[in-house]
Amino acid sequence: MARRNLFQPPPPPDTDNSAVPAGEQKVRFPNTGAMSGVKSTLKDVASNAVREISVDVIEENGPKDRLSFSDADVVKLAESIKAHGQQVPIMVRPIADKPGHYKIVYGRRRLRALRSLGIPAKALVRSLSDEEAILAQGQENTQRLDPSFIEKALFAAELSSSGYEQGIILDALAVDKPMLSRMTKVARSIPKSVIEQIGSAHGIGRRRWEELADQSRNNSIDLEQVTSALQLNATKSPDDRFSMICGAVSQMLKPKATSKPVPSPTLAIKLSDGTAIAEVKETARALTVKLSKAEAPEFAQWMRNNAEAELTRLYEAWQAERKPD
């Protein structure tokens, strides 16, 4: 039995359908059974097809899940694409109010490389909502690129400030609520300008970022001011730049050494004939009067016997001088 080709139009009718009662007319291709499966398959194939799109009609605005990549990274990728072609398509979605224009979902670095080469981009085109685009962007980068903790933290903070619901952010980053809270806390405590100067810092984990955030917040440290005083440009590694800032903050938090008071010079008390009868020495904790038994032994003995009475008399005299008239 010959099979009917479902992809060719049906032959012209040889009878007048108007002669057949309406209730007995049959739909040639009902949307059920095998035909429904064929339509669904064709739809899936069309949605997964890779198209070539001019890079001039693709816009890059929207939340970024990665810190800025260097020109060297773009040049290196461009050289690879020039030699081997674009192996991995980017994803874009149509812009509703700009027919023929698209917004990048993921693949910004690939798009920059293609722009530098002046060749069209191989792209998957999806009609996605903002929420669906964020999910696709987060999941693709998590699976392929393994963003660093601080990149995820910045992405989470940007999505939150843009009004995305917490559930969307959790799914996009594949994290739980406690981790999202920690990410947001770090991103809000450390200025974005400082993070951008440091870079992705893949070797710096959550704990060290949290420590820096806590130190700056609890001690009211201006990290932008700290960073401006450092020569970060001389250090190529993001991890080293992070360590430089942490070192400067730690130095600021060290207790300042209290300067010791300069001791007063020893006061020598001498009589008019030059006889040294006593020395007065002052330290941080005491004032010491030292009588010389060698120069004035009899006076030293008398002072020993009358010390209580004489010191009491001197103290009362001092108090009397302090009283107002």
Instruction: State the pLDDT at residue 256.
Output: 61
pLDDT tens digits for range 84-126: 888 888 888 888 888 999 988 878 888 889 999 999 999 888 8
C-alpha span between 67 and 221 (Å, rounded): 24
- Per the CB < 8 A criterion, the answer to whether 114 and 80 are in contact is no
Taking the domain 44-142, which CATH number applies? 3.90.1530.10
Instruction: State the pLDDT at residue 46.
Output: 45
CATH 1.10.10.2830, the chain: domain bounds: 147-252
Name, of 15-29, 118-132, 175-189, 244-258, the range with top average pLDDT: 175-189
pLDDT tens digits for range 217-254: 999 999 999 999 888 877 778 899 999 999 999 988 88
Three-class secondary structure assignment of 65-109? CCCCCCHHHHHHHHHHHHHHCCCCCEEEEECCCCCCCEEEEECHH
Task: Determine the longest span between alpha carbons in the chain, in angstroms.
Answer: 153
Question: Does the pLDDT value for residue 38 go beyond 50?
Answer: no
C-alpha span between 85 and 78 (Å, rounded): 9
Highest CATH level, class, for 147-252: mainly alpha
Question: Does the pLDDT value for residue 211 go beyond 90?
Answer: yes
Lowest mean pLDDT across 1-10, 21-30, 204-213, 266-275:
1-10
Instruction: State the pLDDT at residue 5.
Output: 40
Question: Does the pLDDT value for residue 47 go beyond 70?
Answer: no
Instruction: State the pLDDT at residue 25.
Output: 45
pLDDT > 90 in the chain, percent:
22
Average pLDDT of the chain is: 78
C-alpha span between 117 and 114 (Å, rounded): 5
pLDDT tens digits for range 64-94: 656 556 677 788 888 988 988 888 888 888 8
Centre a 10 Å sphere on the Cβ of residue 113 and count the other Cβ atoms it contains.
24
Q: Which of 226, 170, 230, 179 is nearest to 207 (CA)?
A: 179
